[in-house]
Structure 1
Amino acid sequence: MRSVSEIDVERLTGRAFHPSPVAWEDEVLYFLMVDRFSDGRERDWRDNDGVSVAFGETPRLRPENHGNALGTEAERAAWRDAGERFTGGTLRGLRGKLGYLRRLGITAVWVSPILKQVPGVESYHGYGTQDFLDVDPRFGTPDDLRDLVATAHAMGIRVILDVVLNHTGDVFDYAVPAPVWDGSTFPVAGFRDTDGKPVLPFGPLTDRDTGVWPAELQTLETFTREGRIQDWDRWPEYLRGDFQTLKDVALLRPDGSPSPALAALTRAYQFWLAFADLDGFRVDTVKHMDPAAARYFASAIHEFAASIGKENFYLIAEITGPRSFAFRTLQAVGMDAALGIADVQDHLEWLVKGRQNPVDYFGLFRDALQDGKDSHTWYRNRVVTGFDDHDQVRKGARKARFAATEHGDRLAVAALALNAATLGIPCVYYGTEQLFDGAGGDDRYIREAMFGGAFGPFRSRGRHAFDEDHPVYRGLARVLALRRRVPALRRGRQYLRPISGDGVSFGPPQIIGDGPMRAVVPWSRIFAGHEVLCAINTDPFAPRTAWVTVDRDLHPPGTELTCHFNTDQHLEGTVVRAEPRNGSAIPVTVPAGGFVAYW
């Protein structure tokens, strides 16, 4: 197709589609970058049916292979440079690893953008689209996408596609060098040809590798043409400026109505929704879209999805900035959930590492009153939570994964359990379950190639990391199985619980003195009269014990609670009795860097 006018909606929609989930808070997401996940050439891994695969080119990564790409300065440079280019991951490779994700406990995979990128540009991340009606051949074909989704559905996994409509790739250049936003509209030199030169006039194009597609976007009015953003928080600069070399799309006409470009992009994404039978979109850079434009897109996508039986097609908005701004924007644009990018990630990570008080994290969800919500379960399906991701904007020039610092390798299961067993839709970033460290400070280092290749994890090359025997993989799989089994952990009200060392003086766990907090951090999830008491230990080296308050009405003194989950499995089945301390309390011991659940 060259134009969205060629989309045959009747042919696309004349079939049955995979239904939406009843409740998205029941899902567990896994975010991966297609280029960095799997190229399908690994050996010594388990296929979708759990069968060991002995053939293939790339052996499994072992600890002794860490650093094997750093032998000489030339080898170190080659490894670093590889991180800025396409490394070879494909949709077919991902399709073959769905069993790895299912056995981990993942129920929805969030896939980075896969539409065609500007030729000759190393936008392996997928956020620089040149053709909105085709899949980038480096990732595969449209049929590969459809086959991926069909296989995922057959295995009980939903697929959420990352989509971009705020901007295109670097498809044209300005007539003046590198203009920055000052409220002016700048003249353009032309669309880029196959060599990247801006020599093609705006108007109808014939070569699909030039300019931008579909044809409806090939007009001057498609773009704001106001130069690069410098102040990312100044209105209207952040709405109308370019993302570096990416080109901002004018989504509204001057009168505030949807532009032809917005209508064309919306139609293109409706096509992909139906063609591949997708279950949701993660919508990029919603902060940088006029709310009226984002609301038009959300309404049109929701209505189209409902018309084919997807009554709960989910739109997850990336909205950077303060939490209050994010949730005002979410409500204004009519999308379903926001990514908990800055404050959720930051508080979660540093709580587990003992550098922030637990009330800072749990206070984000308490009652939701400051966000105008009257229910303290409102967040359960309105925010996607996690702690590792592909941008780590919150860390500035010190970007690294959780495992890289502050004994994060020993605390990873505690962090993953806190994420899985507290409010929100949990999201695991690929490689966290293999303790990837992402050390280096730059975006590339937190985007390691899971399949190895030229830019493997832990400064390696030629070794894949699909290890289902890894202790963090196994630990997370057990936590997610517990979450799946216990409704309170998905839907329940949430309370940070006071603790005591002597059984007399109770208070919230908190930092005391200059060092990190090494303590039991407990919370309750209560659903339909059922309380589940959870706790992590922020001490990476030793078990910790504390008296923990429980709900006196549900667990009065004398009540027995059983340990149904413990990272030290030998201690599961242990029974404790509630005593009349601070109302009602039980003694809880949590292994080093561990997680427990009682009811």
Structure 2
Amino acid sequence: MGNFKSLQEIDFKNLVKPDYFPSPQAWEDQVLYFLLLDRFSDGKEKEFIDNTGNVFISGTTPPFITENFENAIQNAADATNWNEAGNKFVGGTLKGLESKIGYLKRLGISAIWISPVFKQVKSLETFHGYGIQDFLEIEPRFGTTQDLIDVVKTAHDNGIYVILDIILNHSGDVFGYEKGQPDYQNGTIFPVQGFRDAAGSANLPFSAMDEDQFPDAGIWPSELQTLETFTRKGKIIHWDDSPEFLDGDFESLKDIHHGNGSTDNFHPSEALVALTKAYKYWIAVADIDGFRIDTVKHMETGATRYFASVIKEFTMAVGKENFYLIGEITGGRSRAFDTLEITGLDAALGIDDIPDKMEYMVKGYRNPSEYFSLFRNSELVHKDSHIWFRNKVVTLFDDHDQVRKGNNKARYCANDSGADSLIAVIGLNLTSLGIPCLYYGTEQAFDGEGGNDRYIREAMFGGAFGGFRSKNAHFFKENNTWYPEIAKIIDVRNKHIPLRRGRQYLRQISGNGTDFGFPVMFGDRMKSIVAWSRIFNDQEILCAFNTDPENELIAYVTIDGTLHTINSRMKCLYASGPSPVEVNVEVRNGKAVRLTIPPSGFVIYG
């Protein structure tokens, strides 16, 4: 299995199986977990709970303890080694991931989003997976095709779907220009020196390659080994200028030419046809449930529509009726919604306004209306309803890029006592509109301090680049402060359909029970209760958090006037700290209940 040099070698007729794992009925019911495969698990940990629920003791890497904090940077030389390790492959594997499916299941995760697993340019350290050299092979440092099949099978056996991160926009740095990597210059096509050999030198002819160059030289499958596969226009300098952002290279990653024509009359290139067939292969061989498509903004809408159409037809034909296509679409809500409507993608990855407003609202630095209006502004999304977001946007507050933070990249827990309010922001993510996604290590309160991409990509298994500036200690602890609470909130979410599919309303609050209004910032920081309702049919679930990290807060919160009777009670479904077991429905601002929330706390009532 695998080692295909050409797409012509793949016999889809015999490859397709009769019994693929069925798609979920509703993706908004799922909780996603995004992990960088190289940074998740190498399978060498000990003293963690394995997939069978037993403590696994035969590994070599012990669990992290307090004394391991910053043990990798005790002197200048060690600190340099730790820093440099963050720019290289550190050892995570598919087998390691398979060994932690139970860890994810017990957390409540129902879908895993895995960073690209495909073969990278051998001479480079693109551990993140976005520099593909062979679209039909697994990166050897991650494992084999059979390892991917095994991961998906184990996940499915535990009721977990698998979404692969894929790239259509570009390949890895598989060739060199004659005069080095040029900048984009008004659409100029630059002369190419040649394909790179296994050592990274661009000294091979830019044409079909001999089999003796397989697998480490040039690009594979062989259908991509033509000059016409690439735009050859140099790297993007102005990221919002058209057509530069469509035709330029992502730094040294080489832009692929997808075709020509308008969206409605798009003619796919041979390269796009080949890539689409390659990704059909991975669905067929590994039983994949969805794709997260990288850098959709940098693709023509006609190309994205072609890919989405072909993949949807194929997956429906094999019995995956709701195969999910999530696009990384930057540029704001309007662009995201228009792209979904035009291309047929299922959902957008919320990486612009959503993470910023989610993080800083919980920390008290954003007005709540700014976050909740992202889901309610009908004019901007061209719809009369504000509920389409329930399955059209994937929401998260930490990720592997954090473009929004510029040179100040760090995880949520890095500042403002983030670990103390971590449950509040996770509660918001899990119970507000959208398909929630947790970034790996969040459940261990990783801080990602350092200001650079590498520091928000810590290794869960320790190794040479462990979290909290540590080494050789793993982070698969299920009895920490956060893991059990996250599992409880997800359990509540699973039991109450309004938290997954309901309408959403930011609620007015009052300290005295008479004067109501939406919570707003006063001065530099808001210290307030923020509450919202999810309503489905005749059920209302009320969620709220406290932005004050030091004080318990009490406030009356407005609820729906038609769904509750006076003196009826709403029961506490979850509380991160001491809160009333029940609250009474009173006549205030229509109808309201009186919430008591501990410092940086989160509650759910229904």
Residue 559 of structure 1 deviates from its aligned partner by 2.1
The letter of the residue matching 1:250 is H
Partner of residue 256, structure 2:
249
User: What does residue 511 of structure 2 align with?
Assistant: 501
Per the alignment, residue 433 of structure 1 pairs with 443
**Secondary structure class of the residue paired with 2:87:** coil
Match of 2:307 in 1: 297
User: C-alpha distance in 2, partners of 1:53/1:228?
Assistant: 48
Verify the 8 A CA contact 2:579 2:597 in the aligned structure 1.
no
Q: 1:273 to 1:50 in 2, by over 3 A?
A: same
Instruction: Report the CA distance between 1:256 and its aligned residue.
Output: 4.2
Counterpart of 2:126, as a letter, is S
Alignment of 1:89-488 (within 5 A): 89-182=92-185, 183-205=187-209, 206=211, 207=213, 208-253=215-260, 256-366=266-376, 368-488=378-498
Please tell me whether the aligned partners of residues 557 and 585 of structure 1 are also in contact (alpha carbons under 8 angstroms): no
Deviation, 1:279, is 0.3
C-alpha displacement of 1:541: 2.3
Match for residue 558 of structure 1 among 567, 575, 578: 567
Hey, what does 2:556 align to over in structure 1?
547
TM superposition score normalised by structure 2: 0.97
Structure 2 gaps, min length 5: none
Pick one of 56, 70, 85 that aligns with 1:82.
85
Where 2:375 maps in the other structure, the secondary structure is: coil
Post-superposition offset of 1:117: 0.2
Give a deviation string over 1:289-335, Cα, whole Å, max 9, x none: 01101110000001100000001000000011122112111222110
> 1:367: how far off?
5.2
Residue identity in the other structure for 1:534: C
Question: 2:598 maps to what in 1?
Answer: 591
In 1: Cα distance, 2:526 partner to 2:477 partner: 32
Label 1:253 to 1:377 Cα distance change in 2 as closer, same or farther (>3 A). Answer: closer
Instruction: State the partner residue of 1:38.
Output: 41
Cα distance in 2 for residues equivalent to 1:114 and 1:575: 48
The alignment partner of 1:484 has SS state of helix
* Structure 2 residue 587 is the aligned partner of structure 1 residue 577: no
Of 48, 71, 76, the match for 1:73: 76
Task: Specify the alignment match of 2:538 in structure 1.
Answer: 529
Q: Deviations over 1:212-239 (max 9, x none)?
A: 0000000000000000100010000000
Query: Separation in 1 of the partners of 2:281 and 2:94?
Result: 19
- Identify the range of structure 1 (372-381 vs 493-502) with the bigger mean alpha-carbon deviation: 372-381
SS at match of 1:356: coil
Aligned equivalents of 1:57, 1:563: Cα separation in 2: 43
Q: How many Å apart are 1:575 and its aligned residue?
A: 2.1
1:407 and 1:288 map into 2 onto residues whose CA distance is 37
Using the alignment, how far apart are the partners of 2:516 and 2:90 within structure 1? Answer: 53
Structure 1 counterpart of 2:238, which letter?
D
8 Å CA contact 2:508–2:519 kept in 1: the answer is yes
CA deviations over 1:128-165 (Å, ceiling 9, x no partner): 00000100100000000000000000000000000001
How far does the alpha carbon of each residue in 1:337-376 deviate from its partner, in whole angstroms, 9 at most, with x for none? 0000010010100100000010000000015342112222
- In structure 2, C-alpha distance between the alignment counterparts of 1:531 and 1:556, rounded to whole Å: 13
Please state if 1:28 is matched with 2:28: no
Conservation of the 8 A alpha-carbon contact between 1:340 and 1:385: yes
Report if aligned partners of 1:349, 1:415 keep a CA contact under 8 Å in 2.
yes
Match of 2:147, as an amino acid? D
Q: Deviations over 1:537-568 (max 9, x none)?
A: 11222221100001111123322222121112
Letter of the 2:243 partner, please give it: P
Structure 2 CA distance for aligned equivalents of residues 578 and 401 of structure 1: 39
Following the alignment from structure 1 to structure 2, what is the Cα–Cα distance between the partners of residues 219 and 54?
51
3-state secondary structure, aligned to 2:429: helix
- Is this contact kept in 1: 2:336–2:348, CA < 8 A? yes
SS at match of 1:364: helix
Q: Which amino acid aligns with 1:79?
A: W
Identity of paired residues, percent? 54
Distance 1:8 1:472 in 2: 47
Aligned to 1:56: 59
Query: Secondary structure of the residue that 1:160 maps to in structure 2?
Result: strand
* Matching residue's letter, 1:561: M
Whole-angstrom distance in 1 between the partners of 2:52 and 2:498:
31
Matches of 1:250 and 1:2 in 2, distance apart?
A: 21
Asked if 1 retains the 8 angstrom alpha-carbon contact of 2:72 and 2:470, the reply is yes
Letter of the 2:602 partner, please give it: F
The alignment's C-alpha RMSD in Å is: 1.1
Aligned-pair CA distance for 1:571: 4.4
Determine helix, strand or coil for the equivalent of 1:39.
coil
1:563 & 1:474 partners in 2: Cα distance? 17
The whole-number CA distance in structure 2 between the counterparts of 1:378 and 1:256 is: 28
Alpha carbons 1:367, 1:374 under 8 Å: kept: no
Gaps of 5+ in 1: none
Does the 8 Å contact 1:368/1:378 carry over to 2?
no
Query: What is the aligned counterpart of 2:13 among 4, 10, 13?
Result: 10
Counterpart CA distance in 2 for 1:495 and 1:170 is: 47
2:587 maps to amino acid: P
Output the CA distance in 2 between the equivalents of 1:194 and 1:452.
Answer: 30
Question: 1:367·1:377 contact (CA, 8 Å) conserved in 2?
Answer: no
**In 2, Cα distance between equivalents of 1:59 and 1:575:** 43
What secondary structure does 1:587 align onto?
Answer: strand
1:193 and 1:256 map into 2 onto residues whose CA distance is: 34
Number of matched residues?
596
State the one-letter code of the partner of 1:445.
Y
